[in-house]
Structure 1
Amino acid sequence: MSVIEPLLSVEFEVFGKVQGVFFTKYLKEMSEHLGLSGWCKNTKKGTICGKIQGSKTGIDHMVVWLTTTGSPGSKIERCELTNWQTLAKPELKGFSIRF
């Protein structure tokens, strides 16, 4: 009997040198690789914000990426993770970069 992994949702904001370094492009690719859905966008204050949803394992991997790795050329100072939720079913489909 297999254990069903919980679906999680979390909002994030990444601070540091994260604009102008293809952060959103790499974030979208990583999300798709991990099977996560959601969105991200540049903010006027120079950060990247968004929301990701998916398996706990996928979210755990993405949190590490958002807080330590990022895109080549980025320099992450910190990542704030808020509004953690457990979902009965996914609310978002696919991953998009918003403008």
Structure 2
Amino acid sequence: MEALKKHIRYEVFGHVQGVFFRKYTKTQAQKLGLTGWVENTPRGTVIGEAEGPSDKIEEFKHWLRNIGSPKSRIDDLRITNETDISQLKFHSFSVKK
């Protein structure tokens, strides 16, 4: 039986731009075997989508909420959509903008 897969849409608030947050996010996602994307927003947050095995998504959420890049300060993580999926929509993890 295949492991349960999840898809999340997230937004990270705090000092997360200009501190290599997207680069570290991509590295962490790839380390966990996740696919999706990450990008800066005009309002100073970082948004993205990620998908993969449920347990790896949970690790990724913990990383986004508590770790981030070395110079970042994370004030909040909002998960706006978390769903079970049977198939991955993305083939890799990319940095937009």
Q: Report the TM-score when normalising by structure 1.
A: 0.95
Structure with larger Rg: 1
**Structure 2 residue runs without a partner (length 5+):** none
Aligned pairs for 1:4-43 within 5 A: 4-43=2-41
CA positional deviation for 1:4 = 2.9
**Structure 1 residue runs without a partner (length 5+):** none
Of all paired residues, the percent bearing the same amino acid is 37
Runs of 4 or more consecutive aligned structure 1 residues displaced over 2 Å after TM superposition: none
Paired residues in the alignment total: 97
CA positional deviation for 1:85 = 1.0
Root-mean-square deviation over aligned CA pairs: 0.8
User: Which whole-Å CA distance do the structure 2 matches of 1:97 and 1:69 have between them?
Assistant: 18
User: Which whole-Å CA distance do the structure 2 matches of 1:98 and 1:21 have between them?
Assistant: 15
Q: Which amino acid aligns with 2:38?
A: C
